[in-house]
Structure formats: C-alpha cells, structure tokens
Structure 1
Amino acid sequence: MVINIYARLHLVGKIMLINNLNAPFPLLQSNKVKLISSVSFGLFVFGFLYIFQPFGISEVQFYKPLFIGGYALITFCCVAFSFFALPYILKSTFNPDKWTVKKAALYTSFIILIISIGNWYYTSTIGQEVISINHSFLKFIGITFSVGIFPTVIFLIFTEKTLRQVNASKAEDITKHIYSEEDKVDNKADKARIPQIDFTADNSNILLDQNNFICIKSEGNYLEVFFFLDDKLNKVVIRYPLKKAFEQVNQLNNIHHCHKSFIANFDQIEKVTGNARNYELHLRNLTFTIPVSRSFSKELIALYK
C-alpha cells in the first residue's frame, strides 16, 4: 500500500516536472536588446573579476585589466554568437511559438558551456604568460557558472518583464479597438439579424443566439458549453471532440478556436490582458479567463488592428 502511494506520488511529481519543462517561455527577439545584453554580460564579467579578483586573478602582477578584459571579450563574443548566429542557423529550433522552459534551460547551459571552453583555452594559452594557476576544464565550467548565474538570472527576469510590458500594451490596444468597434455597431440604425447556433452532439441539441454563446471548454473527452440565458450563466456538459464542435460553429463570424482547449465567441470579449507568455481573454459573464495559444496570438493582433 505504501509502495503504491509512493509510486503514484512519484508519477505525479514526474508529470508536473515534465509539464513545467514544456511550459511556454518568452524568447528574446529584439536585436537591440540582444546587443545591449551581450555587452552587459561582458561588462559584468570584467567588473566582477576586477573588483573581487577570484580564482587566482589576484596573483596577476602585470597587465591585469587587459588580462581580465580577455574574459570579458570571450563572454561578449559567446553570448552574441548565441543570440544572433544560433537563431539564424537553427531557425526551426528557435521558433518563438514553440519556445519552452526546457529549451531556455538547455540554451542557457549551452552558452555557459561555450564560455567555459573559451575561458579554459584562453587561460591555458595566453593566460600562461601572466597566471600560474592551472584549472581543469570541469573547474572552468563551475567557475563560469558561479560568475554567470547572477547576470543570467537578472537577464531572464528582465526579458520576462520586458515582454510582459510589450504584451500588456498590445492587449490594452486590442481592448480599446474592441470597444471602438462596438461603438460603431451600436451607432448603426439597422443591425443585422443575429445568427443562431444549432449545436448537435451527444444525442442532444443546443439552439441559441450567437450573442448568448460564450465559449466551449474541452475537459478530456467532454466539452463544457457555456452560454448566457435567462439572465444567468449556463453550462451544458457533453461527450464530443472539440475539433468536431468547431466544425459546427466555425462558419460564424468571430467564433475562434483560440487555444487547444477552448473555442470562444470573440463578440463576448470584455477585455484582453497579456503577460510574457501569452494573452488572456476576459469574456462577459464568465468567471474564468481563456488563454490564447502562442500560435493564435498573431491572428488575435491582426483581428483588432
């Protein structure tokens, strides 16, 4: 019994870890920020080594600033190569719509590794003229990681904050556009006939006006259909594939499959919010928000330009 409980807890922990590693993560795309970040990493390394002089650097008697500058230059070149060249060479790998926590961790580890290689080669060749302490390659990885962990954490926080602000600003613009479009519709004397949704599934039939339909949420093999009727939020649970459900409503304007688990009526959007990873839709009368998949984000922005 205890073994079974432990095995289940282990499985749950493993699933949570996999889900966290596969969670979306923002990928830096601004060349200006990439260049500034590369220079900042190099300057940080120079400042840190010059002020604290760890790892035997304090024993250097001649050309100390120039010697330390070599490590800073290596750091700058490696980071710049990783930021500019790698995404160009491996375009499919560096797809911002598929960038995850796992890929970001591997990417960071790769940068640290190539900086370690550069530092080790620099010290074992040119550095032999000014420093007498020899470190193994593995120790150089540890040294590079211990120095680089601080600017890396700061960089990741800065990247997420910057992208969160960008997406929040775009989300605010989308919300303003939605309300301006609503004002135009409200000012029209003749309104078009409201389309009806005739949704048939699981031996049941749901017939309602499009302006009452809110969203469909997928839960495993079941769908939760949300709609507003008789001044209250209603929910019907049916057994039906989400893909087939979308085939029944996709001919209607402003009904979108915006996430792998959601179909939403964009006429019901009250506001849009954004973070570093994606956008979220706030629909009228709905008690939860609907996430927008990264693959649909560009379509969302295009809809409300």
Structure 2
Amino acid sequence: MFSYASYPYPKSESFKEIFVSSLGAGLSVYLFLIIFQPFGTENFQHPYKFLLLFPYCIIFGITFLITNLMVSRFTHWNIGAEFLKIVIILFIGSVLSYFYNSLFLSHVKLELGNFFYMFLYSLAVGIPISIIYVLSRYIYLKNIYENSARDISQHITVPTTELRQNPLKISTQSTELIIDENHFLCIQAMENYCIFYFLENNNVKKILIRISLTNALMQIETNFIKKCHRSYIVNLGRVKSLKGNAQGYKLILTEIDFEIPVSRTFISSIIPQIKQQNS
C-alpha cells in the first residue's frame, strides 16, 4: 500500500464535482449512523432521533466541501496526500460532531478523553473504507484512461506537413509574433509568461512572451488549437498519440520532449475532437 502513496491521484477540479462529492460524503455518514448507530447512538431514544442525527451529515458534508476547495489549489496531488486529506476531514468532522453531541444531544461535560475516543473510532471506521475507495477509484480510472488512450492512439494518423495555411498572430505591447497554424505546436504558461513552441525550418523553436494564457488563446484559438489544461494550449492536429493514467490523458507530440496533460474538465471537448479528426 505504501508504494502507492507517491502515485499521482486525480483530485476534484470543478466546483460542481466537489459539491456533488461533498453531498455524497455527507449522506454516506448519515446513512452509516442510522444503519449501524455507533457512538452509543442505539441507546439514544427520541421521537425525532433520525432528524437529530442529520446535522452530522451537514457537518461532514461542509467539512468535505471546504477541505476539497482548499486542496484544489495544489497543482500536484498523490495518493498519500489524498489519505492525509481524509484524516484531516475526519479530525475536523470529529471535533464539530463532538461539540454538537455534547452540547445539543447528550448534554454531557466536554472532556478531552471523550473526544479522542470519538476521533479514534472515526479513524477506525473511516480509514479502512477510505483506503478501499481511494485505491479502487485509482485502479478504475487508470484502467479506463489507459485502455482508451491506447485505442485512440491506434487510429491517429501521422500529422502531415501541409494541413492548414492560416497565420496565427500574437500581439502584446512589446512583441508581435506570427506563426503558421500548421507549424504551431503548443503554449506552456509560466506565471505571467507563456512559452510558445513552433517549427521554424523544421526545427523546434521556443519564445518566451509576457502574456497570459487566456489572452493568448483569445488571439490564436481555431478548430484545432485548443486549451487542454490550465497551463497548456495545444495544436490537436500535431498530436501523434495519447497516454492514459488515473488523472486522465496526456498528449504526445513527436517534436517536443514532454507530454501535455489534459485536465479532466477538458476531456469531454478535447478527446472527442481527436477521435473525430482521425475517424
């Protein structure tokens, strides 16, 4: 299991995905409480028992939501970081749940020992379930994307040298760059700058320009030149093959020595187009 800790892991990227997963996490906690009734819940008798247990759903759902929104800013994520995130969620959720239980349900004196008992019980229940979920999701996504990438790559034709004669013009206050669309490869964003990769006399050339990726995309986007990641714009007509992993896809261009990632938010637009242009 420890060998998996450093493997890249796909975290939620969009607010919608984070919200839906947070809702699912909160409802899972609620269902677990009403079915198994841990922490002495089976001895708690009240005509509105299940209604009074519902705030636990809200507590863990909001904790899950806030934690995932915070970690969504990290660019690199792996299985070990995902497990650490889960422990943090269980800890914060246990703290809030303990206060809710002590102050509104059981009305008992707050004691550190009782909290640690609840936290350890939460870990004992939450960690095994989380391990099964995280590893299963990793293996499932890895197999899906790897098989799909292999199938798509088999149908990608070798890019020809003369496809489109369309000049791309990039203008800033201090720079003006004109590249033929057929010779354009990709753009890599680096903070306030972008590195433009293109062919010149059959050699790869790169130029650093002070421009945002959004501004660059507005000037050069075509049917083939698309944004595929928050840090990359790529010429889909130059894609030679794909690789797949648990995080999604990576595009391979023979002219450059690095792979271009495709964010999961762009998969639904990028991958079908690659399939269509090679069908």
**TM-score normalised by length of structure 2:** 0.59
Distance in 1 (alpha carbons) for counterparts of 2:162 and 2:72:
49
Matched, 1:112 2:72: no
Counterpart residue number, 1:264: 234
Matched, 1:291 2:261: yes
> How far did residue 204 of structure 1 move?
4.1
Counterpart residue number, 1:208: 180
> How far did residue 263 of structure 1 move?
0.9
Aligned in 2, Cα 1:299/1:95: closer, same or farther, shift over 3 Å?
farther
Distance in 2 (alpha carbons) for counterparts of 1:287 and 1:70:
64
Aligned in 2, Cα 1:175/1:25: closer, same or farther, shift over 3 Å?
closer
Higher helix share: 1
| Farther-moved stretch of structure 1 (236-245 vs 28-37) | 28-37
In the comparison of the two structures, how many residue pairs are matched? 240
Distance in 2 (alpha carbons) for counterparts of 1:185 and 1:214:
12
User: Per-residue CA shift, 1:242-284, capped at 9, x if unaligned?
Assistant: 223212221x2232122232111223332142335x5543443
Counterpart residue number, 1:129: none
Matched, 1:239 2:215: no
User: Per-residue CA shift, 1:59-96, capped at 9, x if unaligned?
Assistant: xxxxxxxx58559x99xx6698359x948xx9xx9599
| 1:288 counterpart letter in structure 2 | F
> How far did residue 225 of structure 1 move?
0.9
Aligned in 2, Cα 1:41/1:227: closer, same or farther, shift over 3 Å?
farther
Q: Which runs of 5+ in 1 are unaligned?
A: 1-22, 50-66, 126-133
Aligned in 2, Cα 1:154/1:41: closer, same or farther, shift over 3 Å?
farther
Distance in 2 (alpha carbons) for counterparts of 1:177 and 1:30:
33
**Structure (1 or 2) with the larger CA radius of gyration:** 1
What SS does the aligned partner of 2:256 have?
Answer: coil
Counterpart residue number, 2:121: 147
Seq. identity, %: 18
Distance in 2 (alpha carbons) for counterparts of 1:220 and 1:38:
43
Counterpart residue number, 2:76: none
Matched, 1:160 2:134: yes
Q: Assess if the C-alpha contact under 8 Å between 1:197 and 1:249 holds in 2.
A: no
Counterpart residue number, 1:25: 11
Aligned in 2, Cα 1:192/1:86: closer, same or farther, shift over 3 Å?
same
| 1:238 counterpart letter in structure 2 | I
Aligned in 2, Cα 1:78/1:197: closer, same or farther, shift over 3 Å?
farther
Q: Assess if the C-alpha contact under 8 Å between 1:272 and 1:280 holds in 2.
A: yes
What SS does the aligned partner of 2:207 have?
Answer: strand
- Please give the root-mean-square deviation of Cα atoms over the aligned residues, in Å: 5.0
Q: Assess if the C-alpha contact under 8 Å between 1:197 and 1:209 holds in 2.
A: yes
Q: Assess if the C-alpha contact under 8 Å between 1:78 and 1:114 holds in 2.
A: no
> How far did residue 215 of structure 1 move?
0.8
| 2:115 counterpart letter in structure 1 | I
